[in-house]
């Protein structure tokens, strides 16, 4: 592999000998004092020329730089508008491991480029036509402080795109999902992480293209969480990555918003995540969307209060003390059980506890009953299982009639050993009630 000195001597030497070349400057990582130095660094070189046409006509002139493995002409892309007369490039990978990204530009183009790119370093000026420029710096690439509107748009875009990701996963459209994840949601996450780094460092550093230097600035645990957002193209892995991404974005946005005195829309974030969780738990093949998802252990207290309230209202024939005595144990069990909650933007309105097809109870918050919430919870259970069973007290007429309307039939009756009350075991099988109706019509 040719050394840096050998490469630089060759690059400048060719320019000195070629009368069509007026000057040379370099930019990119090799002029960036903060970029890590390694074997893969390109040589980003610009030759200032009188014209580009003679070079473009002679495809073999670049052979002078060495034996190439392969290359690219970035300005010869079909359908792409270019200004080849003023700027023309060659991207060359050499057999010795070096890479040269060479551009030919006219003086007019060069003067604009040099003033715009503060990473430029002049290597040769044959005619003293180039201006004096300050020492190369990556300051133009430092993280920029966002305005309020930019911050809020970033948040809105991130949370909105979850809608597309969720429905794509539910449909099994993995290529579509990966594009939505990496082309739309991830840029907003990376932007927020960059702002966080900027806040912590006085907006005087660069995180690099695509956040490649984030590992230098983020705590190890936070950087590890970022890496977990890059999944394999498998449904379960993508879901876990998306949820990790949501948590990381939410925490970071709260912190950045707080430090910059910008009000973060917590309601937007909460409702977006709620819809995503409902999408995740929605059984495949459902004909309607249900705002139902698996309960988190942290919501056990809220569910237990709904449980107690519901039992006290429905079971007036059982002493209140019975339910109150069991409250703490039920709260503990709820935190460990399979529980699905109906939740809207105002909170949890009801829940269904179920174990292997056995419904332990469906409860709806007072004031929200007779609004279809219990029915939706039962629809959710029916979609998850081929067969359901439950127990209901004989004296709870309203509940018994509800389950009969929903296709349940009495399997047997007995006595609840805890209360001594008559109860019924009821069952439901997918398609059974419809078949029964058909038989009755004959």
Concatenated DSSP letters for 122-158?
Answer: EEEETTS-SPP-PPP--GGGSPPPPPHHHHHHHHHHH
* Nearest to 89, CA basis, from 103, 99, 100: 103
3-state secondary structure of 23: strand
Does 439 score more than 60 pLDDT?
Answer: no
pLDDT in tens, 253-310: 999 999 999 999 999 999 999 999 999 999 998 999 999 999 999 999 999 999 999 9
* pTM of this structure: 0.87
Which residue's structure tokens are 């970029």?
35
Comparing 337 with 440, the larger pLDDT belongs to 337
3-state secondary structure of 47: strand
Beta strands per DSSP E along 198-346: 292-294, 339-344
> What are 89's two structure tokens?
């490039």
Q: Which residues pair with 343 in a beta bridge?
A: 348
Top-ranked range on mean pLDDT: pick from 111-115, 224-228, 331-335: 224-228
- The CA-atom distances, in angstroms, between 343 and each of 229, 275, 277, 329, 377 are 26, 9, 10, 24, 11
Does 144 score more than 80 pLDDT?
Answer: yes
**For residue 274, what is the enclosing H or E element?**
helix 266-281
Q: Do domains 4-138 and 148-281 have the same CATH topology?
A: no
**In this predicted structure, what is the pLDDT of residue 337?**
87
> What are 348's two structure tokens?
């949890």
Query: Superfamily assignment of 4-138 in CATH?
Result: Beta Polymerase, domain 2 (3.30.460.10)
The number of CA neighbours under 13 Å toward the Cβ of 275 is: 15
Rounded to 5 degrees, φ, ψ at 297 are -55, -30
Give the Cα separation of 89 and 91 in Å (integer). Answer: 7
| Cβ–Cβ < 8 Å for 31, 45 | no
Query: Superfamily assignment of 148-281 in CATH?
Result: Nucleotidyltransferases  domain 2 (1.20.120.330)
**In this predicted structure, what is the pLDDT of residue 116?**
87
3-state secondary structure of 102: strand
Dihedral of the CA atoms 408, 410, 416, 420 (nearest 10)? 120
Does 312 score more than 70 pLDDT?
Answer: yes
pLDDT band, residue 125 (cuts 50/70/90):
very high
**In this predicted structure, what is the pLDDT of residue 394?**
95
pLDDT in tens, 148-207: 999 999 999 999 999 999 999 999 999 999 999 999 999 999 999 999 999 999 999 999
Tell me the pLDDT of the chain averaged across its residues. 94
Q: Determine if residue 367 is left, alpha or beta; phi over 0 gives left, psi from -120 to 50 gives alpha, anything else beta.
A: left
**In this predicted structure, what is the pLDDT of residue 433?**
64
**CB within 8 Å of 72: residues ≥ 6 apart:** 90, 91
Give the Cα separation of 282 and 289 in Å (integer). Answer: 7
- The CA-atom distances, in angstroms, between 419 and each of 81, 196, 304 are 82, 58, 20
| Cβ–Cβ < 8 Å for 165, 185 | yes
**For residue 177, what is the enclosing H or E element?**
helix 174-180
* Nearest to 165, CA basis, from 226, 224, 244: 244
> What are 81's two structure tokens?
């508008």
- Domain with residues 292-441, CATH architecture: 3-Layer(aba) Sandwich (3.40)
> What are 275's two structure tokens?
């819809």
pLDDT band, residue 27 (cuts 50/70/90):
very high
Give residue 266's Cα distance to chain centre.
Answer: 17
Residues in the chain: 442
- The CA-atom distances, in angstroms, between 315 and each of 234, 304, 402, 421 are 47, 16, 15, 11
**In this predicted structure, what is the pLDDT of residue 434?**
59
How many CB atoms are located within 10 Å of the residue 206 CB? 22
Q: What percent of the chain has pLDDT over 70?
A: 98
> What are 91's two structure tokens?
């991207």
pLDDT in tens, 31-56: 998 888 999 999 999 999 999 999 99
Q: Which residues pair with 351 in a beta bridge?
A: 341, 363
| Cβ–Cβ < 8 Å for 319, 312 | no
Give the Cα separation of 152 and 158 in Å (integer). Answer: 10
The number of CA neighbours under 13 Å toward the Cβ of 244 is: 19
Rounded to 5 degrees, φ, ψ at 427 are -130, 155
pLDDT in tens, 67-103: 999 999 999 999 989 999 999 999 999 999 999 999 9
**In this predicted structure, what is the pLDDT of residue 22?**
97
**CB within 8 Å of 377: residues ≥ 6 apart:** 292, 340, 342, 350, 351, 352, 362, 364
Which residue's structure tokens are 């509940």?
399
| Cβ–Cβ < 8 Å for 103, 48 | no
Q: Where are the domains of the chain?
A: 4-138, 148-281, 292-441
């Amino acid at each position: 592999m040719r050394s840096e000195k050998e490469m630089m001597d060759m690059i400048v030497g060719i320019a000195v000998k070629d009368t069509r070349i007026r000057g040379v400057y370099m930019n990119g990582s090799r002029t960036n004092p903060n970029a890590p130095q390694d074997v893969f660094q390109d040589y980003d070189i610009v030759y200032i020329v009188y014209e580009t046409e003679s070079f473009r006509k002679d495809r073999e002139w670049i052979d002078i730089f060495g034996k190439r493995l392969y290359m690219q002409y970035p300005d010869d892309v079909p359908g792409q508008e270019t200004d080849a007369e003023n700027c023309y490039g060659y991207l060359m990978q050499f057999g010795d491991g070096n890479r040269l990204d060479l551009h030919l530009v006219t003086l007019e183009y060069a003067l604009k480029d040099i003033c715009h790119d503060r990473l430029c370093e002049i290597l040769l000026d044959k005619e003293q036509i180039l201006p004096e420029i300050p020492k190369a710096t990556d300051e133009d690439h430092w993280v920029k402080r966002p305005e309020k509107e930019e911050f809020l748009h970033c948040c809105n875009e991130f949370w909105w795109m979850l809608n597309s990701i969720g429905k794509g996963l539910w449909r099994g459209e993995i290529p579509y999902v990966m594009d939505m994840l990496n082309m739309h949601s991830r840029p907003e996450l990376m932007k927020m992480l960059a702002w966080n780094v900027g806040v912590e460092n006085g907006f005087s550093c660069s995180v690099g293209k695509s956040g490649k230097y984030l590992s230098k600035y983020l705590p190890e645990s936070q950087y590890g969480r970022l890496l977990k957002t890059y999944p394999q193209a498998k449904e379960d892995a993508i879901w876990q990555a998306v949820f990790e991404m949501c948590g990381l974005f939410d925490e970071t946005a709260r912190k950045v918003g707080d430090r910059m005195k910008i009000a973060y829309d917590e309601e937007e974030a909460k409702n977006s995540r709620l819809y995503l969780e409902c999408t995740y738990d929605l059984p495949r093949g459902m004909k309607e969307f249900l705002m139902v998802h698996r309960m988190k252990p942290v919501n056990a207290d809220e569910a237990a209060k709904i449980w107690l309230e519901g039992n006290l209202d429905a079971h007036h024939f059982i002493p209140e003390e019975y339910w109150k005595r069991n409250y703490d144990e039920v709260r503990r069990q709820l935190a460990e059980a399979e529980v699905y909650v109906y939740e809207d933007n105002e909170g949890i309105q009801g829940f269904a506890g179920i174990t292997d097809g056995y419904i332990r109870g469906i409860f709806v918050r007072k004031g929200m009953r007779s609004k279809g919430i219990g029915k939706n919870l039962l629809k959710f259970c029916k979609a998850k299982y081929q067969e359901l069973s439950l127990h209901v007290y004989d004296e709870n007429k309203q509940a018994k009639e509800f389950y009969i309307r929903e296709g349940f039939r009495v399997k047997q009756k007995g006595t609840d050993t805890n209360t001594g009350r008559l109860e019924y075991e009821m069952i439901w099988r997918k398609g059974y009630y419809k078949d029964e109706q058909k038989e009755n019509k004959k």
